[in-house]
Each structure stands twice: as C-alpha cells, then as structure tokens.
Structure 1
Amino acid sequence: MNNSSNKISHTEKKLTGLVISKGCSFGKICLFNDSRHENSPVYKINTHEIEQEINRFAHSVDIASEKLEELITNIKTKIGLAEAEIFSAQKMLILDPTIQKKVIEEIEANQTNAEAAITKTLDFFEAKILDIDDDYIKERATDIGEVKRRLLDVLANLKPTFKCEGQKHCRRGKNRIIASRELTPSLTIELDTDTTLGFVTEKGGYASHAAILARSLRIPAVSGIKDLYNNLLCGTEILIDGDKGEVIIWPSSETLELYPNLKTQREQDYSSIDPIKDFKVMANLSLSKDIDLVNYFKAEGIGLYRTEFEFLSRGKLLSEHEQFEIYSHVIKKMEGKPVYFRLLDIGGDKSAPFFNLPKEENPYLGFRGARLLAQRPDLFKAQARALAKASQFGKTHILYPMIIEKSQFIQLKKMFLDFTTDIDTSNVFHGVMFEVPSACFQANEIFEIADFASIGTNDLIQYLFAVDRNNELVAKDYNPDREIFWNVLKIIVDAANKFNKPLSLCGEISNDSKYILKLYAIGIKTISASPKLIPEIRKHIKSIINNIKL
C-alpha cells in the first residue's frame, strides 16, 4: 500500500467509541489483515479423497493445539494464570469432540474440502452463541471465530499479518497502534505486544476476553469506532484517549500538547516502590499460583481473593481438603499480612456446568453470591471448613458477596459458624462486600456486627444505575463520575468511621489514577488493585499526599 499521506486528509478528526482499556498513546496505524480468510477455498472432493481431507483437518487440530499450548505456557510466565485460561478455553474448543465430529460429518456427507467444512461448522456454532440473549455469552462467540482462524491458518500456512507489513513504521513497530474490525485475544497478545501502543476496533465489549487482556497488559484500547477502515489507512497518525473512549486522527500539535504524559513508546516499569504510611494498597488475586507476583510488588495484603477462579481454572468442584491446601498456601506466603477471601461468587458472568446452577433469564439479578451460598450448603460448607482450618496459619478475613441487608449477613455468618463448630475460628473475621445499593443504605446497622468491609465498585455502579456494564448499547451509563455514586461511597465511609471498622475498596476505579484523589478525599485509605498496577498507584498517591502536606 502506498503512503497514506497521499490518500487521506491530514485534518484533525475526533471519533468517539467505548472505553476498553484506559491510558493514552500516540502512534501510527497498522491495519490488521483480518480478511485473510475471506477467499478460503471451497470445492467438492471425490469419494477417495475424503480420508485425505479428514487427515488434513486432524493435522490442523494437532498443530493449532500445539501452538496454543506454547502460547499458554508463555502467557502463564509473562502475564498470569488467569489470562492464560482464556487461551486454554480456545484449546478446549479445538479439541472438542462435538465440533470435530461435526466437521468430519460435513466432509463426508457433502464431500467438501477441510477448509469449507471448518468454516461452515464453526460459523454454525458461532451463530448459535450470538443468538443467545445474554451479552456476556455473546462475547464468547469471539473464541469460536478465533478457533476457526487458527485452523484455517494452519491449512493455508498463514499467520496473522498487517496490511502495511513492509512499511517502515510497521517494520520498526516502535510506535504501532493496531486497528482491526474486532478486538480478539490473539490480536491482543500475539502481535508483538511489547511494541504495541494501543488498539482501535469496530467491535469488542468491555467484558470480552481481549479487553481483559488489554487491561492486564496496560495497553490503551477503544472500541465501537464505526467505519474504521473508511476513516483510517496504514500510517495514519492517531491519538488514543482510552480514558474518554476517543480516538483523534491526525491530531494537531495543539491537541498533542494537551496530553503531556502521552505514551509514544511502550514503557513497562515493573519496579516496585515501598508502601506509603498514610495509604494502604493491597492486591487482587484470582489464582494462588500468582501469589509471588503479589509479594514482588510489595502488596500490603490481599484485598480481594476471588476464590471462585480456583474452581473455574480447574474445571471442577474442589473438595474441602483441596481448598484447605490452596488457602493455607496463600496465608503462609503472605506472612501475616491480611488476606480477604471472597466466598464463592458464582452466578452472573461466572458459571460452569459443574456448579449445576439453574438456567435464569437474568442471572445478574438472580441466583448468585449470598443467595447461592444460602441455598447451596454443600458448596458453602466445604469452603467454610477449608478456610477455618487454614486460619491456623494466620488471620483469615471472610468476605460475603452480594449482601443485600443485615439479616442476610447474620444468616450466612451463622451458617459459617455452624459448619465449623469443631474448628478453632478465633483467627477468622467476617466482613461484607458493599456492592448492592440496599446494603449501602444499611451501612450503620451492618458495621455494628461486621468485623470489616470492602466496597466492590464494579457491581455497585452496575446496580446503582441499572446498567449492564458488558452491554455496548448502554455502556456509557456505566459512569463512576456521577455524584450519587460518590454520595453512596460517603455513606459507607462515614459508617465505617463511626464504628471504627476497617474499610477497603476494589474495582476498576481503584486502578484509575483519575479517581485516587477523590477516594482519598472522602476517606478511603485502603484499596485493592491488580498487582502490576501497585507501583504506579503508589507513585500517584505519594504525589497527592506530598501536595496536600505542602
């Protein structure tokens, strides 16, 4: 492709989309070649060629799964286990016997080539998922498309490329911003992420696997930009404002001056700084195997241990003993620092067949969190006993999720104590997750009996404003800037202070420097965030505190 300056006006133009991953960066566009399989071969085969095509398909499955296994191992080492599970899910799809059987049946019944059979079969499964009336599940259709492309890449001996592959800015890749129709996991993770400054896409929701990866890598990303390929050419200079969900094409020098901290080169500073006296930064944890990362960044405890991910990552229910081994390992590793174990928060966007949950029209407002624990003593008892036993190795803080009122917390705490009458629980502390508005307005009553509490801002914002944060159509209403949200936070802070009870906060806003000053001002002095963000958060907090002292 010729230099874009001959084909497009250099007049500044602003486009508005959706915030996917925060941060701002400036670079040149590389258009992803996501149409490489549009002309995949489709042809009829003779009867004696059927076995050959089935063998070609089997070969593509073997090679694609091997490549995925290498990728999974690499991601576990460089990023984390939770992120690696995204690609483990793709590997499971590739090896799924139902999908394989369908492809082979297509080859045999219609005497068609492997490429055509793969495309038809996986398009069928993708369409079925997209037809489900659940935005979170619809996001998973991307994984089906990814699997199709991986298999077709093997058969055609292709790899993901850019349309500007030979151009200088793309060859160097030092200031590359990737544009694509859809933000996919492979696009996010496989295309030289060390030199990628940002992503701009037409499709892809906040809760998609690719969006989660972009945030883990701290790469700014904006989605929902319509007619992307009509507005951008390879080499176009572009500014991504991931904080506002805006992209500015050919930004003027005056516009660039408004962004003094603009990233023009990937700078991943993984160095840590020491804890700050007046503000505690704890870490979020999903899998016990990531505990060394928590300690590497000198977290002052674990403020949110999402215990359900231990089940989801293993694909099965865990016994009392298995859970005890996991939880005691974490407590020992933290060497006396607090660990906040959130009890199983299954339901909503986190489920699996082995939990045997009922089918619901709206799982976000249904059988999840505290309600599930009350109705599933088989799950609750095993976890309660495992945590109580693990508490012999250090203080163990239990967070009860999705509490709607004081009486519900009393009921669940009683169940916990009834399950553990034969175990010493003197080291166990019971706390509430404030994430449902009704509980927030009972904060005084709850703090009378709770040992501590944590505010879960992601769900609180969602329920406070009746907005599904995974739905692109209403995503703009998921807005923590609204005054009523901060009024609710202040109610909780005041109640915690009144009863002198520890209070922490977790959620996306705890990762966002934009809100740190405001949190500090209303009295939030403990937050929990992704381990890799702790150094950056501490630097920002230190600057705020120093300015206040001045």
Structure 2
Amino acid sequence: MTTVTGVGSTPLSGVGTVRWYRPDEALDLPDRPDPEAVDPERERDRFESARDSVREDIRRARDRAAERVGDEEAAVFEAHEQFLDDPQLVDGIEATIDDGVTAEHAVDDVFGEFVAQFEGMEGRMAERADDLRDVRDRLLRELLDVDAVDLSALPDGTVLLAERLTPSDTAGLDPDAVAGIATVTGGRTSHAAIIARSLAIPAVVGVGEALEEIPDGATVLVDGEAGEVVLDPSEGRRAAVSELDAPVVDDHVATADGREIEVAANVGRPAELDPAVARGADGIGLFRTEFLFLDRDAPPDEDEQFDAITAALDAFPTDRVVVRTLDVGGDKQVPYLDLPEEPNPFLGQRGVRLSLGDHADLFETQLRALLRAAATEHGADLAVMVPMVARVEEVDAVREQVESVAAALESEGVEYAMPELGAMVETPAASFVADALAERLDFLSIGTNDLTQYVMAADRENDGVADLHDPLHPAVLRAIDRTVDAAHEGGAWVGMCGEMAGDPDLTELLVGLGLDELSMSAVTVPAVKQRVRDTDTDAAEALASEVLACETRAEVGEALGL
C-alpha cells in the first residue's frame, strides 16, 4: 500500500480504478513550415475563425456549468471568453503570424509565454495558468481539427488522474461515475478544484510527480479530507476512510454542550435543491435569485418568481429559506437591464442600490412574489435579505417598500404574509452600523467573500492582490466579531453565507464567534455538522478570543493550527 500526499480539495473519499487523462498527447503540433511558405492572411483568417468557434463553445460550457454547479462557479468561463479578446494575447498572436508562423504555432507560442509568467507567480496567480491553458487548448483543437476527450462518459468507479484539469474538464465530469480525481499540479482555490467541490467529487490536487508512478488500471483511494491518494488500499484503510466521511444528518445539530447551530445550504439554481436536501441541509441560507434573470431577453414576471420561491419552500417544508433579493451589478451583468458602465463597478451601483434606484420596478415585482410566497403552505419560514447594504437609510427605505407592497396586495385582495427581513453584511459600513441595522431587522447574514474584499480593499477577481483577499486576516475577523456582537445586542440572529462558512476547519472558530447559522455549498454540510457536534462552546469561545487578539494573518494561522 503506497500513499502519496497533496492538498485535499473536497472533504470526501472514494475508491475506484485509475484512468489517466493526457489531453496534450492529442495536441501534437506539426513541424513548423518555412516562414516563406506561410500565408499570413490565410493564417489570420484561420485564427479568427477558431476564435469565433471557441467563443461559442465557451458560452455553451458556461451555460452547462451554471446549470450543474451554479452561476458563481460558472463565471470562470466569462473570464475565459475575455481571454479571446485580450489585446496582449490577440495582438501577440497576430504579430507572430505576420512573422511567418502558422496560426496553431502562434497560439501555442504566445499563450505559452503567458502561462509561463503565471506559473512563475504564487498562489491564485499560478493557478490561473490553467485557465489560460483551457482557452489555448480549445483554440488548438479547433485549428488542428481534433476532438476533445469526452470526460462525461467515463465508466462508473473511475478515479481520474491527470497532470492538471482545466475548469472545462472538471465541469464535464459525471459525479455519479467519477469516484475521485487527483492531479500533479493545482491548488485548493483553483477553478477546477472549486468546481470539483461543487460537484461533490473527492479530489486531491498538487500531489506532485509521485502521482505519475500510479499506473492506469490500478485501484486507488482518494481521500479529499486527508489529502492522500492511496495505491492498492487495504480493507482496513478503506474502512477507516469511510468512517472519516461525515454521514448525512437530516436533523438539526448542536454543539457537544447543547448549543444549536443551523447548517444550511447556498442554492443558486433549482437543480441544487434536491442535492441540498440529500446532504441534510437545515434549509437554505442563501437562495440566489439571479438565475431567474440570466440567459434571457427580459426579466421574469411576478408569477415566475413566485413559482421559483415556493419550489424552494416546498423542498424544505419545515426549515427556513433565506431568499436574497436581486444582486446584480459589479461582476454580475445582465445585458437587457442596461446597467451603467462604471470605472469601478464593485464600488458602484449594485445590489440594494439598484433596487432602490434605477430598478425599483423590478424590486417591487420581486417583493410582491416574496410576500405572496410567505402566505403559502410552507411560507411561514421564509426570510428575505437585501444585499450590499451600507446605510441605515437603505434599510428604512426597504422596509417602507415592503409595507407599500403589502398594502397594495391587501387592496387587491391578494393573500400575503410578512417574512423575516434581513440584510447582508458585505461592507465595512454595515459592520459599523450593525447595531442600528439589528434594531430594524430580524437577522443579518455575513457575506465573507465581499466583506473581505471591501475590508482589505482587495478585488476578489484580481490575482495581483489575491494574498490580501483572506477572510482570516485579523481585520476581517474583527469585523465579523463586531457584527455578531452588535446584532445579538439588537435582538437579531446572525448567519454567514460566504465560502468561509463551509470550511470544516473553521467551524469551531465560527461557533466561538457566536454565529447562529452557517450556510455553504451542500457538499460540505455533513462535514460541518459533524464539526459542530464535536465542538464545545466554551473551548470555541476561548479559541475565538485567542484569534481575535492576533495581529497578523500568520498568528491567526498558528492559533488555528492551519
């Protein structure tokens, strides 16, 4: 029994038969012709034709991924499409063609330079090299007329090994057939790893060259919790790992000393409802309504939104469902809404700012659907939260709008009910006025992805500042602590729906900080529930106090044993 180690990406394990995936073997380029024999105009036309075809392929891949894993995870394909228009890449390829190089060699040369640059960096910047490879390989396949390997048709029980997997590769996998994946390169925050987690596929990345020693056809165990790949695992090792996989718990859970913590799921598409139920989620802590507005030419009407919300309520008839009102702007663009072009859209008109401004009509329609849904059979546990709150005045305006919609429904004789009302804490401003927000609302939900971005002044899509976008920085942790304390003093409960909530290694800390609810990708619900059960509140609070006293990120990591 041989064990090689890497970085665990998905906290699950699986056993199966190895199949190596080596896509580069199908992309062998022909010898370079003499530059004098190359027709630059023809090669430019070939390149443009390939770009057009790949653009359509990427858009189809984005739609498929959004349907399977959600819009946020699928957004990587929008970045891939942008590579096709990147002046440095396009101009470089065209200039290389003009020097007498064929289109396929020009694509390989120019993309190769940028891939090498990214690989020479650290962290997320290095992981973005795989995104460039994804686009490069699509272009090369088109230029060489080579079909992609169909990874969606792998036999049951396959453990897929590869030097690396691109986002396209991973999004095409069938989670019912693939028992696990492991790669030579890669990190936990790579887009491929994120998609693997969303698909609930056991994954270990960054194993190194030792993975190459495992042959096709071998039996291996992929332990995404321990970050291990085990060749020819013993029965004892198989049994031990199966015990590590947290069992699904349908009931709500409490800490070892009896403090109940709600462990809910983030849902971005109707297709994610059943998996959330199957993984034992205590309702929905973040129901993203953006999916209703995407991939269409006009906004959904009131009835369509009502049907989508009631479907979520019916999936969790005895649990709370928290619906976020339309959150567009920033990195979420909807063409038919004619959103403003802004020099810094993350600091511009997004979330509640649009709902109370240019798109007040859409907000009113959505509120009508929500209040009607609250009056349905399972609507008593409906909660509504507004995104991107920064001012108390915004909450007051939202409350007035809710009351206005309720009055209109009553005058029309339409049955309605008032749901819980809350706000997302994504801005430092919201954290600073959390006490005043809590006096006006039933709950606050901390969105750690954006809160980290704004506290650290670090664009979460900018790899150049990726090391700053860290929710474990002391400043972010203190903002979370301040929010929880202020909300509780104001009588509101507090949840968290950012990626931080779904990391089992942070569960004890979050319990110690006083969170009442944690919401995450459904795949991590069982593991987080298990960590909640294993946590003692007094010990968790002591850990939180120790962490909050830290002055640097390194000290936080040491305190948490990370």
Does the TM-score normalized on the shorter chain lie above 0.5? yes
1:387 maps to what in 2?
370
Cα distance in 1, alignment partners of residues 103 and 182 from structure 2: 35
**1:369 deviation in Å?**
1.1
Cα distance change of structure 1 residues 363 and 72 upon mapping to structure 2, 3 Å threshold: closer
* Equivalent pair of 2:11/2:245 in contact (CA under 8 Å): no
Cα distance change of structure 1 residues 222 and 346 upon mapping to structure 2, 3 Å threshold: farther
- Residue 302 (str. 1) matches residue 251 (str. 2): no
2:351 maps to what in 1?
369
Report 1:231-270 matches (<5 A).
Answer: 234-235=212-213
Cα distance change of structure 1 residues 541 and 85 upon mapping to structure 2, 3 Å threshold: same
2:438 maps to what in 1?
447
2:168 maps to what in 1?
185
**1:454 deviation in Å?**
0.8
User: After alignment, is 325-334 or 434-443 more displaced?
Assistant: 325-334
Cα distance change of structure 1 residues 35 and 472 upon mapping to structure 2, 3 Å threshold: farther
* Equivalent pair of 2:104/2:140 in contact (CA under 8 Å): no
1:417 maps to what in 2?
403
SS in 2 for 1:279: strand
* Equivalent pair of 1:185/1:213 in contact (CA under 8 Å): no
Report 1:125-524 matches (<5 A).
Answer: 144-145=135-136, 147-148=138-139, 151=142, 155-156=145-146, 159=149, 177-180=161-164, 183-187=166-170, 189-190=172-173, 194-201=178-185, 206=189, 208=191, 210-216=192-198, 217=200, 219-220=202-203, 234-235=212-213, 271-277=248-254, 278-312=260-294, 314=296, 316-376=298-358, 377-393=360-376, 394-395=379-380, 396-424=382-410, 426-524=417-515
* Equivalent pair of 1:214/1:221 in contact (CA under 8 Å): no
Cα distance change of structure 1 residues 351 and 125 upon mapping to structure 2, 3 Å threshold: farther
**TM-score normalised by structure 2 residue count:** 0.66
**1:143 deviation in Å?**
6.5
Cα distance change of structure 1 residues 362 and 215 upon mapping to structure 2, 3 Å threshold: farther
Cα distance in 2, alignment partners of residues 29 and 232 from structure 1: 16
Cα distance change of structure 1 residues 243 and 495 upon mapping to structure 2, 3 Å threshold: farther
Cα distance in 2, alignment partners of residues 90 and 374 from structure 1: 30
**TM-score normalised by structure 1 residue count:** 0.67
Q: Which amino acid aligns with 2:313?
A: I
Cα distance change of structure 1 residues 320 and 249 upon mapping to structure 2, 3 Å threshold: closer
Q: Which amino acid aligns with 2:390?
A: I
* Equivalent pair of 1:282/1:528 in contact (CA under 8 Å): yes
Give % identity.
Answer: 26
Cα distance in 2, alignment partners of residues 212 and 272 from structure 1: 24
Cα distance in 1, alignment partners of residues 345 and 190 from structure 2: 16
Kindly report the root-mean-square deviation, in angstroms, between the aligned alpha carbons of the 2 structures: 5.5
Cα distance in 1, alignment partners of residues 512 and 310 from structure 2: 36
Deviations 1:154-200 (CA, angstroms, capped at 9, x unpaired): x3356379xxxxxxxxx9997765323x7332156449972444335
Cα distance change of structure 1 residues 371 and 146 upon mapping to structure 2, 3 Å threshold: farther
Cα distance in 2, alignment partners of residues 176 and 187 from structure 1: 10
Deviations 1:26-50 (CA, angstroms, capped at 9, x unpaired): 999968443642516999999xxx9
Task: Give structure 1 stretches of 5+ with no counterpart.
Answer: 1-11, 97-105, 111-115, 128-134, 162-170, 251-259
SS in 2 for 1:534: helix
* Equivalent pair of 1:29/1:179 in contact (CA under 8 Å): no
**1:423 deviation in Å?**
1.8
